Amino acid sequence: MALLDIENLGLAMTSFEGETQILHGIDLTIERGEIWGMVGETGSGKSLTGLSVSRLIPSPPGRYTSGAIRFEGQDLLQADEPAMRRLRGRRIGMIFQDPTTNLNPAFRVGTQLVDVALHAGRADPSVLGLAPGASARALKAAAKARAVEMLDHVGITNPAERIRSYPHELSGGMKQRVLIAMAMIGKPDLLIADEPTTALDVSVQAQILRLMHALVHERDIGVLLITHNLGVVAQICTHVAVMFRGRILEKGPVRAVLKHPSHAYTKALLDAVPRAHTKRGELRGLGGIDMEAAE
Amino acid sequence: MLFYFIRRVAMLVPMLLGLSLLLFVVARLLPGDPVGLAAGPNATPELIERLRAEFGLDQSLPMQYWTYLTGLVQGDWGQSVFTRRPVFEDLMTYLPATLELVIAALVIAIVLGIPLGLLTAVYRNGVLDYVTRTVALGGIAMPRFFLGLLLQLGFAAWLGWLPLAGRFPLIGFPPEHVTGFYTVDAVLSGDWEGLRLALAHLAMPAFAMSLSPLATIMRMMRASTIEVLQQDYVLTERALGLSSRLILFKYVLKNAMTSTLTIIGLYVSWLLGGTVLVETVFDWPGLGLYATQAILTQDFMPVIGVTMVIAMIYLVTMLLVDLLYGVFNPKVRYS
């Protein structure tokens, strides 16, 4: 059984102008050990696909018009909120784009980590190394220990002290490490990372990608990595899906798609990547291709 | 932090000094003759002279101020011409009554206003939201004394559930004096019947005073909660499975508190300064009634005393609010 199987997913959003179809029949299957890169320009529906898996799109305005999202066989579109909450943070981890705005500024990073660990531990005590039916006190102690351990694991030095830091006392890269620790503390089977490196500078980007790569291999989990950076895809993804206007135009193993793109849009996207020998004034945009034809 | 605190407390001294000087000058510049009023229409010139000397009014103004200032520091706040008692003693009698009223009103406003603000933000445009917003608008718009009259009409005259006015039954004995707060004293001395009576008398005036701050706190809280709910970190917290109750009452609440805290601080002075209307309607023996009487009889010392006390409480409240900012927003650094 596939870890995640999105089948013919359709999503519509209501606004003042009426209902607009946003996602058109998304099909995507992620197995354990696969890192799927999802690329596409702004507004192509990458993030909404990611948020749909965790059922984080409020309804209204969102409405699923068709399809299913099966997580280990269970259709998440049929799941109620309590059932979804048991999956979030425990079976499905999420990381978002901007580390400076995704940590709560009024709380120590430890408080937030411990609360997520406690939530995951309540759903499944074995996550914290406890037997089923562990006491609340045991859970709390284990959650605290696990928070320190997890900070250490994502490469934060002096974790026992750092756990008492407020977000504004940490650098952007450290904050993203904390957020990765928060997403991974419940030992999820699926990680959805929505542009996790976009807000970081290049050298930190590489560190964070290496860290994610290591964590994924260690745990054998599936990853949906949403990005608009083809360089990132080439570096760590095993598979790639190219999105455009709410559709997946092309998908497959990363090598095949990037080396031999079958779709005109993918080609245009690849040509738009600036290279070291690109001359001044030669930077190509996507304006040259016929969007209607591409659809 | 400690250094900041000491510096802020030290800054209170020149502020209070300046205020006392200003008050003193204004009070003395007012037309009128308190001694004449106190001595009555048939007083002999000798009696008036004697009273003037007794109250120190025959000395030069700078001398009078100096006498007053040194007295202030030593707890001698001058004498009321009208009650013939030391002002400090009067204040110690009336201040607890007013503080009890103000604190009760604030507690009602905070305990109801903050959760209602949070909930109406979450369920905005729902039934609860519309009902509370309408009531809140009325709460802000309606004058306190008028609301007080309506309450008296409803709960005392028609329903007869609550006493019409006063702080305690005239024939009853108030709880043993410890703090001067009847409710606290009743609890301390285990006088439960006294507590019931004190609360029954407190209920209407406290509610009448609380409605406006309650409405403002609620609206402030609603607005800042709506803003906080749209922050990225709330999405992250939801995405990692934290319960909506934990997110709202822990993670959102603390972030939304900062602006509400400012409003609460401002309301302390608003309530203290505004007790006079409610105290008049409910015949509540507090600072407001005392000050009104003093102003009407041109009794300088009580007026200065009341103003100084209110100013002191206000300045201390502002200091507390500034310190609390640091609790709700860790980025605030005291230096």
Q: Using an 8 Å Cβ cutoff, are B287 and B98 in contact?
A: yes
Q: pLDDT band for position A293 (50/70/90)?
A: low
Chain A residue at shortest CA distance from B233: A102
pLDDT the model gives residue A167: 92
Q: pLDDT band for position A99 (50/70/90)?
A: confident
Statement: residue B34 has pLDDT above 70: no
Higher pLDDT, B125 or B160: B125
Statement: residue A235 has pLDDT above 60: yes
Q: Are residues B207 and B251 in the same domain?
A: yes
Alpha carbon B267 to its chain centroid, in Å, reads 8
Chain A residue at shortest CA distance from B243: A85
Statement: residue A192 has pLDDT above 90: yes
A134 lies within 8 A of chain B by CB: no
Segments of chain A assigned E as strands: 4-15, 18-30, 35-39, 62-71, 74-75, 92-95, 190-194, 222-226, 239-244, 247-253
Mutation for B interface: A100, A104, A122, A169, most B CBs within 10 A: A104
DSSP 8-state secondary structure symbol assigned to residue A190: E
Across the interface, do A106 and B328 touch by the CB < 8 Å criterion? Answer: yes
Higher pLDDT, A161 or A208: A161
Rounded CA-CA distance B100/B149 in Å is: 20
Q: Are residues B66 and B141 in the same domain?
A: no
- What is the residue whose two structure tokens read 């009580």? B302
Cα-based torsion angle of the residue sequence A136, A71, A78, A245 in order, rounded to the nearest 10 degrees: 120
Nearest by CB: A102 against B232, B246, B251: B232
Rounded CA-CA distance A190/A57 in Å is: 18
**Domain boundary, last residue among B73, B95, B120:** B73
Size of interface A-B (CB pairs under 8 A): 75
Q: Hey, where are the domains in chain A?
A: 4-275+282-294
pLDDT the model gives residue A189: 92
pLDDT the model gives residue B38: 67
Mutation for A interface: B227, B240, B244, most A CBs within 10 A: B240
| Arithmetic mean of pLDDT, A16-44 | 89
Mutation for B interface: A80, A103, A109, A115, most B CBs within 10 A: A115
Q: Are residues B288 and B143 in the same domain?
A: yes
User: What distances in angstroms separate CA A215 from CA A155, A230, B4, B145, B321, one per listed residue?
Assistant: 11, 21, 46, 66, 45
β-strands A62-71, A4-15 pairing: antiparallel
Q: How many domains does chain B have?
A: 2
Statement: residue B334 has pLDDT above 90: no
Q: pLDDT band for position A281 (50/70/90)?
A: low
| Arithmetic mean of pLDDT, A204-233 | 86
pLDDT in tens, B147-198: 888 888 888 778 878 887 777 777 777 777 777 788 887 788 877 887 888 8
Sheet containing A190-194: give its strands across.
Answer: A92-95, A190-194, A222-226, A35-39, A239-244, A247-253
Q: Are residues B230 and B306 in the same domain?
A: yes
Cα-based torsion angle of the residue sequence A92, A97, A103, A104 in order, rounded to the nearest 10 degrees: -100
Statement: residue A284 has pLDDT above 70: no
- B82-86's contacts with Cβ under 8 Å and 24+ in sequence apart are B82/B34, B82/B37, B82/B38, B82/B293, B82/B294, B82/B297, B82/B299, B82/B302, B83/B302
Asked if residue B79 belongs to a domain, the reply is no
Q: Are residues B162 and B108 in the same domain?
A: yes
Tell me which residues of chain A, numbers 28 to 47, contact chain B at a CB-CB cutoff of 8 Å: none
Q: Are residues B292 and B224 in the same domain?
A: yes
Statement: residue B42 has pLDDT above 90: no
pLDDT in tens, B52-75: 777 777 777 888 888 878 888 887
Name beta bridge partners: A66: A10
Q: Which residues contact B235 (CB under 8 A, 6 or more apart)?
A: A56, A96, A102
B259 lies within 8 A of chain A by CB: no
Q: Are residues B29 and B148 in the same domain?
A: no
| Arithmetic mean of pLDDT, B277-284 | 84
Q: Are residues B184 and B47 in the same domain?
A: no
Residues in chain A with CB shorter than 8 Å from the CB of B233 are 101-105
Domain that holds residue B10: 2-73
Q: Using an 8 Å Cβ cutoff, are A167 and A98 in contact?
A: no
- Written as six digits, the tokens of B194 are 């006294």
Name beta bridge partners: A223: A35, A191
A86 lies within 8 A of chain B by CB: yes
Residue A145 sits at the vertex; the CA angle it makes with A140 and A150, to the nearest 5 degrees, is: 120
Residue A64, helix vs strand vs coil? strand
pLDDT the model gives residue A28: 92
pLDDT in tens, B189-206: 877 887 888 888 888 888
| Arithmetic mean of pLDDT, B100-117 | 92
Nearest-neighbour CA in chain A from B213: distance (Å): 25
Q: Which residues contact B143 (CB under 8 A, 6 or more apart)?
A: B277
Q: Are residues B7 and B95 in the same domain?
A: no
Question: Can you identify the CATH homologous superfamily of domain A4-275+282-294?
Answer: P-loop containing nucleotide triphosphate hydrolases (3.40.50.300)
Statement: residue A181 has pLDDT above 60: yes
| Arithmetic mean of pLDDT, A107-115 | 93
A188 lies within 8 A of chain B by CB: no
Asked if residue B164 belongs to a domain, the reply is yes
pLDDT in tens, A238-274: 999 998 888 888 888 988 888 888 777 787 777 777 7
Statement: residue B259 has pLDDT above 80: yes
* Lowest mean pLDDT across A156-165, B139-148, B286-295, B313-322: B139-148
**Phi, psi angle pair for A116, to nearest 5°:** -70, -40
Nearest by CB: A182 against B240, B246, B255: B240
Residues in chain B: 335
- Written as six digits, the tokens of A240 are 């790639």
A96 lies within 8 A of chain B by CB: yes
> CATH number, domain at B265?
1.10.3720.10
Rounded CA-CA distance B65/B46 in Å is: 25
Q: Are residues B175 and B119 in the same domain?
A: yes
Q: pLDDT band for position A119 (50/70/90)?
A: very high
Residues in chain B with CB shorter than 8 Å from the CB of A186 are 240-241
B325 lies within 8 A of chain A by CB: no
Asked if residue B28 belongs to a domain, the reply is yes
Q: Using an 8 Å Cβ cutoff, are A190 and A221 in contact?
A: yes
Across the interface, do B233 and A104 touch by the CB < 8 Å criterion? Answer: yes
pLDDT the model gives residue B118: 92
Across the interface, do B241 and A186 touch by the CB < 8 Å criterion? Answer: yes
Mean pLDDT of the residues in chain B: 84
Q: Which residues contact B176 (CB under 8 A, 6 or more apart)?
A: B185, B188, B189, B191
Rounded CA-CA distance B177/B188 in Å is: 10
Residues in chain A with CB shorter than 8 Å from the CB of B242 are 89, 115-116, 119
Chain B residue at shortest CA distance from A166: B330
| Arithmetic mean of pLDDT, A152-166 | 90
Q: Which stretches within B152-191 are classed as H helix?
A: 182-188
Across the interface, do B241 and A86 touch by the CB < 8 Å criterion? Answer: yes
pLDDT the model gives residue A291: 56
Q: Are residues B156 and B296 in the same domain?
A: yes
Residue B296, helix vs strand vs coil? helix
Across the interface, do A105 and B329 touch by the CB < 8 Å criterion? Answer: yes
Residue A59, helix vs strand vs coil? coil
pLDDT in tens, B227-246: 999 999 999 999 998 998 99
Cα-based torsion angle of the residue sequence B50, B73, B274, B128 in order, rounded to the nearest 10 degrees: -160
Rounded CA-CA distance B235/A51 in Å is: 10
Mean pLDDT of the residues in chain A: 86
- Written as six digits, the tokens of A129 are 């190394």
Q: Are residues B232 and B271 in the same domain?
A: yes
**Domain boundary, last residue among B45, B73, B101:** B73
Across the interface, do B255 and A105 touch by the CB < 8 Å criterion? Answer: yes
pLDDT the model gives residue A173: 86
Residues in chain A with CB shorter than 8 Å from the CB of B329 are 105-106
pLDDT the model gives residue B279: 86
Q: Which stretches within B30-80 are classed as H helix?
A: 34-39, 45-54, 61-73
| Arithmetic mean of pLDDT, A112-126 | 91
**Which residue type is seen at A213?**
H
* Lowest mean pLDDT across A114-123, B56-65, B124-133, B318-327: B56-65
Say whether the peptide bond before residue B302 is cis (omega within 30 degrees of 0). no
Statement: residue A107 has pLDDT above 90: yes
Asked if residue B140 belongs to a domain, the reply is yes
Statement: residue B51 has pLDDT above 90: no
Rounded CA-CA distance B26/A183 in Å is: 65
Nearest-neighbour CA in chain A from B259: distance (Å): 14
Higher pLDDT, B280 or A69: A69
Statement: residue A163 has pLDDT above 60: yes
pLDDT in tens, A63-93: 899 989 999 989 999 989 899 999 999 999 9
Which candidate, A90, A156, A172, places its Cα nearest to that of A127?
A90
Across the interface, do A56 and B232 touch by the CB < 8 Å criterion? Answer: no
- What is the residue whose two structure tokens read 């999802």? A38
Tell me which residues of chain A, numbers 156 to 175, contact chain B at a CB-CB cutoff of 8 Å: 166, 168
Nearest by CB: A101 against B231, B242, B246: B231
Residues in chain A with CB shorter than 8 Å from the CB of B235 are 56, 96, 102
Across the interface, do B233 and A102 touch by the CB < 8 Å criterion? Answer: yes
Statement: residue A40 has pLDDT above 70: yes
A55 lies within 8 A of chain B by CB: no
ipTM for the assembly? 0.88
DSSP assignment of A236-294 equals H-SEEEEEETTEEEEEEEHHHHHHS--SHHHHHHHHTS--TTPPTT----STTS-HHHH
Name beta bridge partners: A209: none
Q: What crossing angle do the helices spanning B87-122 and B275-282 adopt, rounded to 10°?
A: 100
